[in-house]
């Protein structure tokens, strides 16, 4: 059997996580087995355990890596010397890119977080809640500044996050239009609407 | 054991379907049993079979009832003597109401259609495809008329349908704001944007 190859710019653990995210997205976390993951990588199941402790540990790695990416990004956005609208646009574009560039990982974090064990489950949910609250605050600031309409900020954030999450249904239509059209048109509609 | 009570303005089968939709939403179709459904209704499992043939039949009833509601509504919308923007607004508001008024049924149709058996599975997916194509046509007409921006119609419909679908996450926040605020703000954002 072959050895586990490290992914480019990454470790062997990164390579396993990447393959696992693809497997968990397609089959679901519960229905995926370590044996199947090993087969997908082309190694013996036993050699996986040199790099990771369990299937649950892989799910934790995926969910917390995705959370880190979003948290680090919103840290930067909050520091920008720009108005709330520009910050919001920055966030929408980042979400679109995450849904496309890290599709397997973000999909798994969105759909399979319920399978996390404690204390990771509560911790992950709490981080998501804080992230949403930070987005809501940016919308509130925009309403207060007068750049945004007096829309209920929670509804605006729900609308944005749900719309972007729907990119999972776009994957089938990739050939009709590319990522930059998707990013520009979705951002335009969510911030400035469909009407001329 | 009690008898199955017919729901108001409905048959006993309607009452069973309603309870089943709530159960399937909470536990998932696969994990739900006829015995559990009977317990929820307060009757013997055997008496359920006087009204319905199987668990699969109930799922079919739920999915095709939801499909009928959306199809009949878009039939009416297409006939309206109004511009595309008004038609689109009508559709968005209807989707919001369906997500709220028939939450269990729409949730089950959105999440559990994969569990439909053939020929229902292919038939259901085809109806959904046709429904989306009809919405896309309304957006296309709006772009051609010049009332809507030249946004890729498929992206606009994806954005609308995904955003509305996200109302499933709103259920936890019901107390913060009501359905009319949700309906008005989401419709405003999706059609006219967040900016003043």
Question: Looking at residue A46, what is its pLDDT?
Answer: 87
Question: Looking at residue B171, what is its pLDDT?
Answer: 74
CA separation for the pair A15, B12 (Å, rounded): 55
Q: Do A194 and B189 touch (CB under 8 A)?
A: no
Question: Which residues are registered as beta bridge partners of B148?
Answer: A195
Q: Locate the domains of chain B by residue range.
A: 1-53, 56-192
Give mean pLDDT, residues B177-190: 94
On the question of pLDDT at B193 being above 90, the answer is: yes
Which residue carries 């009690």 as its tokens? B2
Please report the ipTM that was assigned to this predicted complex: 0.92
Question: Looking at residue A12, what is its pLDDT?
Answer: 86
On the question of pLDDT at B155 being above 80, the answer is: yes
Question: Looking at residue B2, what is its pLDDT?
Answer: 67
On the question of pLDDT at B126 being above 90, the answer is: yes
Question: Looking at residue B176, what is its pLDDT?
Answer: 79
Cβ-based burial of B71 (10 A; exposed 0-12, middle 13-18, buried ≥19):
middle
pTM for the whole structure: 0.93
Annotate A102-136 with b (16+ C-beta within 10 A) or e (fewer).
Answer: bbbbbbbbbebbebbeeebeeebeebbeebeebbb
* 3-class DSSP assignment, residue A195: strand
Question: Looking at residue B1, what is its pLDDT?
Answer: 55
Question: Looking at residue A172, what is its pLDDT?
Answer: 72
Q: Which of B151, B182, B193 sits opposite A155 (nearest CB)?
A: B182
On the question of pLDDT at B8 being above 70, the answer is: no
Question: Looking at residue A103, what is its pLDDT?
Answer: 95
Q: How many CA atoms lie within 13 A of A175 on its CB side?
A: 1
Question: Looking at residue B81, what is its pLDDT?
Answer: 96
Number of inter-chain CB pairs under 8 A, A vs B? 142
CA distance from start to end of chain A: 60
Q: Given CB atoms, is B182 within the 8 Å cutoff of chain A? A: yes
Query: What mean pLDDT value characterizes chain B?
Result: 93
- Give the closest residue to B144 by CA, choosing from B156, B135, B131, B153: B153
Q: Count of CB atoms within 10 A of residue B164's CB?
A: 27
Residues B185 and A155: beta-carbon distance below 8 Å: yes
Interface test with B, best of A155, A160, A191 (most B CBs within 10 A): A155
Distance from CA of A62 to the nearest CA of B (A): 22
Q: Which of A148, A164, A194 sits opposite B151 (nearest CB)?
A: A194
The CATH class of the A55-192 domain is mainly alpha
Of residues B7 and B103, more confidence is placed in: B103
Minimum mean pLDDT range among A165-174, B138-147, B186-195 = A165-174
Question: Looking at residue A2, what is its pLDDT?
Answer: 67
Tell me whether the CATH fold assigned to B1-53 matches the one assigned to B56-192.
no
Q: Which CATH number fits domain B1-53: 3.40.50.10800, 1.10.150.120, 3.30.2320.80, 1.10.10.60?
A: 1.10.10.60
Question: Looking at residue B5, what is its pLDDT?
Answer: 75
Cβ neighbours of B194 in A, within 8 Å: 85, 88, 139, 142, 148-149, 151, 156, 190-192
Which helix (H) or strand (E) covers residue A190, if one does? helix A179-192
On the question of pLDDT at B135 being above 90, the answer is: yes
Q: Given CB atoms, is B159 within the 8 Å cutoff of chain A? A: yes
Range B56-192: architecture per CATH:
Orthogonal Bundle (1.10)
CA separation for the pair A155, A135 (Å, rounded): 11
Minimum mean pLDDT range among A76-80, A134-138, B133-137, B178-182 = B178-182
Which helix (H) or strand (E) covers residue B132, if one does? helix B120-145
Residues A52 and A4: beta-carbon distance below 8 Å: no
Q: Given CB atoms, is A150 within the 8 Å cutoff of chain B? A: no
Residues B83-121: tens digit of each pLDDT? 999 999 999 999 999 999 999 999 999 999 999 999 999
User: What share of chain B has pLDDT > 90, as a percent?
Assistant: 80
Q: Which of B146, B169, B189 sits opposite A190 (nearest CB)?
A: B189
- Residues of chain A under the 50 pLDDT cut: none
CA separation for the pair A2, A47 (Å, rounded): 10
Q: Do B185 and A139 touch (CB under 8 A)?
A: no
């Amino acid at each position: 059997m072959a050895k586990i190859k490290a992914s480019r710019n990454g470790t062997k653990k990164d390579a396993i996580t990447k393959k696992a995210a693809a497997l968990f997205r397609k089959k679901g976390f519960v229905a995926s087995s370590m044996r199947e993951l090993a087969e997908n990588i082309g190694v013996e199941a036993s050699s996986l355990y040199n790099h990771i402790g369990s299937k649950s540990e892989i799910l934790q790695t995926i969910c917390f890596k995705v959370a880190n990416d979003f948290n680090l990004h919103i840290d930067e956005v909050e520091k920008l010397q720009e108005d709330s609208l520009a910050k919001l646009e920055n966030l929408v574009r980042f979400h679109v890119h995450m849904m496309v560039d890290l599709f397997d990982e973000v999909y798994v974090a969105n759909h399979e977080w319920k399978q996390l064990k404690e204390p990771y489950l509560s911790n992950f949910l709490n981080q998501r809640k804080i992230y949403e609250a930070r987005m809501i605050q940016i919308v509130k600031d925009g309403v207060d500044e007068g750049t945004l309409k007096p829309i209920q900020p929670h509804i605006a954030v729900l609308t944005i996050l749900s719309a972007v999450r729907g990119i999972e249904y776009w994957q089938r239509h990739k050939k009709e239009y590319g990522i930059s059209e998707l990013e520009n048109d979705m951002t335009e509609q969510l911030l400035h609407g469909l009407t001329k």
